[in-house]
Amino acid sequence: MALGFIDDVATVAVGNDLKATTGALRKYMERRGGAKEWSRTRNSRFEISKLNLINADPSLSRDDLGPSLVLTDGVVHPSKEAKFLGVWVDRKLGFKRHAEYIRKISPSELASTLQHSQYYCKYL
């Protein structure tokens, strides 16, 4: 599985291997009528430096983050973890960093985080 997201948009690709999932993400971004065309037609171009890629594959070694997402206008290198809608997501989908983050924040910050989570979850 590979997960890519832009600001508040997430795209998940599931496949037999990371070559298939990164290929699916590339196709989603660059095909006719794809995400990049959608953004151009709405004057809201994606900034490559703001894209995140997490390759969630349990067969990867600790130091191997998997393949990059190669697009016509740049390369998105995979990360060990990224923050999406206030939640830290890691490549093992264990949410360890997010649990550490939650333990460190104040009760008022936690209440605000939960309020935002409830807001977004009602649209799922």
pLDDT in tens, 39-78: 888 877 788 888 899 999 988 998 999 999 999 999 999 9
**25, pLDDT greater than 60:** yes
The residue behind tokens 């290198």 is 77
Exposure of 46 in the CB half-sphere (CA atoms within 13 A): 24
Q: What is the pLDDT of residue 102?
A: 78
The residue behind tokens 């948009």 is 9
Q: What is the pLDDT of residue 2?
A: 59
The residue behind tokens 């660059």 is 30
Question: Tell me, what amino acid is at 86?
Answer: G
Question: Tell me, what amino acid is at 80?
Answer: K
Rg (the chain; Cα; Å): 16
